[in-house]
Amino acid sequence: MSNDPAEGGHPSPEAAPDDAHRDEAPLETLSPEERLFRMRHSAAHVLAEAVIELFPEGKYAIGPPIEHGFYYDFDLPRPLTPEDLERIERRMRRTIKRNVPIEGQWIPRDEARAIFADQPYKLELIDEIDEETVGHFRHAEFDDLCRGGHTERTGQVGAFTLTHVSGAYWRGDERRPMLQRVYGALFPTQEELDAYLAAREEAERRDHRRLGRELDLFSTHEEYGPGLIYWHPKGARVRLEMEELWRNEHLDAGYELVYTPHTGRSTLWEQSGHLDFYAESMYSPMDVDGSDFYMKPMNCPFHIQIYKNARRSYRELPMRLAELGTVYRYERSGTLHGMLRVRGFTQDDAHIICTPDQVEDEIVGVVELFLRVLGAFGFHEVRARLSTRPEEKYVGAIDDWNLAETSLRAALERTGLAYEVDEGEGAFYGPKIDFDLVDALGRDWQCSTVQFDFNLPERFEMGYIAEDGQEHRPFMVHRALYGSIERFMGILIEHYAGALPLWLAPVQATVIPIADRHVEYAGTVRDALAARRLRVEVDDGGDRMGAKIRKAQLQKVPYMLVVGDREAEGGAVSLRHRALGDLGPTPLAEAVDRIAHERDTRAPDPEPEEAA
């Protein structure tokens, strides 16, 4: 049983009575989204009933609708098995077939405590409710604490199946009991459910954690530190390519590369405000010579110190400081997820410090850089989301906010990128654009961000001497392209199902001698490839040729060069491609040129019909 991140939130039982009255509206009068919400919510109640019927001594906690379905958390006498899930699902279908009514009412707190007297998790929720009445829903003989949002009868819940069980701490608190979370998928029709399950199966096939092990790219070691990534040699080769592209693109775009410490004295984090507002995500301090030092959760305060190391003039702006800086942020262990959610990661961080009249062009340059680099990795569908000033709590002058928001909009429009606007959803310290890339399964991944900051320049009293000879406060823009090297790597693995483009592949070609007498010529082939700085291995083991080819295929190696008597005599290879199959006899020089050209142009894998 794995510890999965929590999905979705639980409908609060202390909602106002009017929320429950909305259940009286017939399903057919509701929007498709509201109907689906109610189907999934009702299915969670039916799930809880089935589990408690099978485990009468069990305790049930919370069970909300979530994206794709529902879940419910249970405290049970033993771990659930796949056979248990089948039994639970059968009981659920029996209740659904009976089509019993789901009825809600608001009852006094004392009455609710009596109903749930043997359910400690429900009692805890009741004790947190300020109102004198609480929401109570019942179907058949099953009672639950709930604010409502249900179908009228159990037979209206739609097509569903139970998918898996994971561990989840009560209230997300590692100091509280570990519960068993039972997940279900639910859609209005069987066809929609089947399509989702097929997509889910494909996503599991692409899971970067499994592929990371199989392809020997990375590992994690919970016993020595959860949420910390160990990059293996093959994974490190991929990372080097990612970093090299990043460095070259940033240098070409006029950025200066910097390196900053991994830790800083508490006074730095007090001035930045992190200890006041971000301490829960920071690691505990280390006592060094009587002072508290913290591992950095962000690079920004360090870049500001570099800027402030000299008196700055407008002639030096814009200043663009970029770093591949490793940061450390505390995440609850239950939320950690391979490379996608970690505690230590390398952020591709940059800060642009500029004058007001430079802002728009700088943002345009950032967006163009983002699209260019994401495109190099094969992500050509990118969605943008602009978040604007909150209504109440914000820092900075409104004129500065307006200029920043206008610049962000103009940059998106000048680059032709479609975008949505989240009014009032900006951070308290500035507006931003989030960029979501779309992977091969159509999933959105939020990676790149460009974020104005009106807070830190004030806290650190940043300034520059303008043309008028007076000191002014500069604009500062945070921006990250990959988001983090680790997370972007995880996304890449899943996007390509491990078959990374040749320019990224840790091994770009494998030379396969048919027999021992061909090993010497295989070395010649290897040397020809290595001379062009291609990453190549020779499989000179004792397996038969077919087994060697299969091994290379399983390792997602782009090219296999098979050599035997005929190839050795003619200075050729029998060329194979992981997607195209057998490409036939090829002169060695031609094969090397082909592979090197594909590497140099960062070409994607050709489709089978392109083989010619």
Q: Which positions are annotated as active-site residues?
A: 300, 329, 347, 349, 351, 432, 478
Task: Write the Ramachandran bin of 158: left for phi over 0, alpha for psi from -120 to 50, otherwise beta.
Answer: left
| Residue pair 44/71 in contact by the 8 Å Cβ criterion | yes
Strand 319-328 and strand 291-295: pairing?
unpaired
Closest CA to 400 of 318, 480, 465, 473: 473
Say whether 584 sits in a helix, a strand or coil.
strand
Angle formed at CA 83 by CA 4 and CA 187, multiple of 5 degrees: 60
| Residue pair 179/59 in contact by the 8 Å Cβ criterion | no
Q: Return the beta strands (E) in 267-312 as ranges.
A: 286-288, 291-295
- CB atoms near residue 141 (< 10 Å): 8
Side-by-side strand order, sheet with 286-288: 263-265, 291-295, 286-288
Phi, psi of 60, rounded to the nearest 5 degrees: -115, 145
DSSP 8-state symbol, 525? H
Closest CA to 334 of 2, 67, 5, 52: 5
Burial of 269 from C-beta contacts in 10 A (0-12 / 13-18 / 19+): buried
**Would you mind telling me the total number of residues written for the chain in this entry?**
612
Say whether 123 sits in a helix, a strand or coil.
helix
Give CA–CA dist 387/164, Å, rounded. 36
Strand 69-75 and strand 65-66: pairing?
antiparallel
DSSP 8-state symbol, 77? S
| CB neighbour list of residue 202: distance below 8 Å, 6 or more residues apart | 441
| CB neighbour list of residue 191: distance below 8 Å, 6 or more residues apart | none
Give CA–CA dist 95/604, Å, rounded. 51
- CB atoms near residue 58 (< 10 Å): 17
